[in-house]
């Protein structure tokens, strides 16, 4: 939540500079950054599976191997390949129907967010440290250091120096990289003595095998992230475009902000499931899944009630525009139910991924989101229900996805998954030696 709060703080500062700046920073962060980070984060999630299983099997040296060979090199190449998203953001948005002023302002912000995009070591370092049950370190660096720093420098750049929306992008770049440096110093500076043994040439071996596994994870997370971004894209064809984009981006930001809690449970569950499978403890993996699902569902109901009761106050965090607040209030019920559903499916997805079924989840996402959700959304929109109809149809897709993942989780044979994990770690260790 602390890490995403930096993006939310940036959006809030930009929002009080005007509707155009809110629309620009919202599209840059909720569309362009989400697409790029979705792919990179998904690919990095494979590292969490491998490191978690290696840690559970007490093959600590393999964590450093995976961190270098199977994350930094491959993800850096992918990061470079994704740079055109930022460089050509303005013309692409114009082709997609966004108005010229919004597209040009977003393109300017996107260029200044390239350093933010290049901060991919954060994801790999996070997974590496997290897999060793050192989550408190990540929380300390993120919450106690970066969140306070980012809030302060955002206030200085926007209100004291008057740099405007470009200043909000610069502060986001700085704060995120400060986090990367903090985690890197901890990981290689003695915080992980068993798993980090230095750099080595073997990091360049067997890259293709990792790329194939990571690509499935990347596609899965990308499809999840891009799903609700469709609403932002569609809003470009409405009247009062800046108002619509502002209201929808606030909805997506609040949903993403809240989703950090179930994603936290996903991370905890993923690490625990991977650790237990690597150690050959099938019952421990199953128990961790049940506990995480129940807890995450309770959190979902809590935030559902918050959205339903205080929707107008939440909008005021991001904007002073009465038009944006009014439109946000119209979307609040759909937002509440979206948040409730999105509290369940990340945990289910995480369990499937940590047991090595990235490809299955990717196909489930494609079918549920795009064959069911988008199809129903287009149908409801054709019936003149507008954005609300499209959003309602997409919620139906999320319901279908959740039900399928529940069935997959119930039918999971944990004993077989534990045997697969142990076999994979044994083979990887033998290959390294």
- Hey, CA dihedral for 374, 375, 376, 379, is it positive or negative? positive
- Check if the beta carbon of residue 342 is closer than 8 Å to that of residue 259: yes
Q: Is the pLDDT of residue 347 over 80?
A: no
Supply the DSSP symbol for 23.
H
pLDDT above 90: percentage of residues in the chain: 0
Q: Is the pLDDT of residue 302 over 80?
A: yes
- Check if the beta carbon of residue 20 is closer than 8 Å to that of residue 108: no
Give 335 or 69, the one with higher predicted confidence.
Answer: 335
pLDDT at 214: 64
- Check if the beta carbon of residue 265 is closer than 8 Å to that of residue 354: no
- Check if the beta carbon of residue 384 is closer than 8 Å to that of residue 421: no
* Structure tokens given for 349: 């997805």
Q: Residues of 8-40 as b/e, b for ≥16 C-beta within 10 angstroms?
A: bbbbbbbbebbbbbbbbbbbbbbbbbbbbbbbb
Give the separation between CA 203 and CA 199, rounded to whole angstroms: 8
Give the separation between CA 242 and CA 9, rounded to whole angstroms: 19
Q: Is the pLDDT of residue 344 over 70?
A: yes
Provide the pLDDT confidence category of residue 211 given band limits of 50, 70 and 90: low
pLDDT tens per residue across span 115-158: 888 887 787 888 888 888 888 888 888 776 666 788 888 888 87
pLDDT tens per residue across span 70-111: 566 777 778 888 888 888 888 888 887 777 888 888 888 888
pLDDT at 215: 66
- Hey, CA dihedral for 64, 68, 74, 76, is it positive or negative? positive
pLDDT at 357: 67
Give the separation between CA 408 and CA 401, rounded to whole angstroms: 11
Is the whole model's pTM more than 0.85, yes or no?
Answer: no
Provide the pLDDT confidence category of residue 353 given band limits of 50, 70 and 90: low
Q: Is the pLDDT of residue 20 over 80?
A: no
- Hey, CA dihedral for 240, 246, 250, 252, is it positive or negative? positive
Q: Is the pLDDT of residue 223 over 60?
A: yes
Task: Give the DSSP per-residue string, 206-256.
Answer: SHHHHHHHHHHHHHHHHHHHHHHHHHHHHGGGSSSHHHHHHHHHHHHHHHH
Q: What is the mean pLDDT of residues 288-315?
A: 83
- HSE-up (13 A, CA, CB side) for residue 178: 20
pLDDT, averaged across the chain: 77
Q: What is the mean pLDDT of residues 349-374?
A: 74
pLDDT at 361: 73
Q: What is the mean pLDDT of residues 292-315?
A: 83
pLDDT at 369: 81
Q: Is the pLDDT of residue 290 over 80?
A: yes
């Amino acid at each position: 939540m602390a890490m995403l709060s930096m993006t939310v703080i940036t959006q809030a500062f930009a929002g009080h500079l005007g509707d155009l700046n809110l629309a620009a920073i919202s599209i840059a962060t909720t569309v362009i950054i989400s697409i790029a980070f979705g792919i990179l984060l998904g690919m990095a999630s494979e590292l969490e599976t491998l490191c978690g299983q290696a840690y559970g099997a007490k093959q600590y040296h393999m964590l450093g191997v995976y961190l270098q060979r199977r994350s930094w090199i491959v993800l850096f190449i992918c990061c470079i390949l994704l740079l055109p998203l930022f460089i050509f953001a303005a013309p692409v948005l114009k082709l997609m129907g966004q108005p010229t002023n919004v597209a040009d302002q977003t393109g300017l912000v996107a260029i200044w967010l390239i350093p933010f995009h290049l901060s991919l070591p954060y994801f790999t370092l996070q997974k590496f440290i997290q897999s060793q049950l050192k989550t408190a370190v990540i929380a300390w660096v993120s919450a106690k250091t970066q969140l306070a720093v980012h809030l302060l420098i955002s206030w200085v750049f926007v209100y004291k120096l008057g740099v405007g929306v470009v200043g909000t992008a610069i502060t986001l770049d700085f704060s995120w990289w400060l986090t990367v440096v903090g985690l890197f110093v901890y990981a290689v500076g003695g915080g992980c003595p068993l798993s980090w043994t230095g750099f080595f040439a073997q990091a360049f071996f067997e890259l293709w095998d990792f790329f194939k596994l990571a690509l499935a994870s990347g596609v899965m997370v990308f499809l999840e992230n891009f799903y609700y971004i469709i609403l932002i894209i569609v809003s470009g064809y409405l009247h009062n475009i800046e108002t619509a984009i502002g209201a929808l981006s606030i909805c997506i930001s609040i949903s993403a902000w809240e989703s950090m809690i179930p994603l936290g449970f996903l991370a905890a569950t993923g690490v625990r499931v991977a650790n237990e499978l690597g150690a050959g403890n099938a019952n421990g993996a199953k128990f961790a899944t049940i506990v995480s699902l129940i807890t995450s569902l309770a959190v979902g109901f809590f935030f559902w009630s918050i959205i339903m009761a205080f929707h107008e106050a939440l909008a005021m965090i991001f904007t002073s525009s009465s038009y944006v607040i009014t439109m946000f209030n119209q979307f609040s019920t759909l937002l509440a139910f979206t948040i409730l559903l999105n509290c369940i499916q990340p945990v289910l997805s995480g369990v499937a991924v940590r047991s090595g079924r990235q490809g299955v989840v990717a196909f489930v996402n494609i079918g549920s989101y795009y064959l069911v959700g988008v199809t129903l959304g287009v149908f409801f929109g054709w019936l003149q229900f507008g954005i609300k109809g499209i959003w309602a149809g997409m919620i139906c897709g999320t319901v279908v996805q959740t039900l399928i993942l529940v069935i997959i989780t119930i039918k999971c044979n944990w004993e077989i998954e534990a045997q697969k994990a142990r076999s994979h770690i044994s083979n990887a260790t033998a290959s390294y030696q």
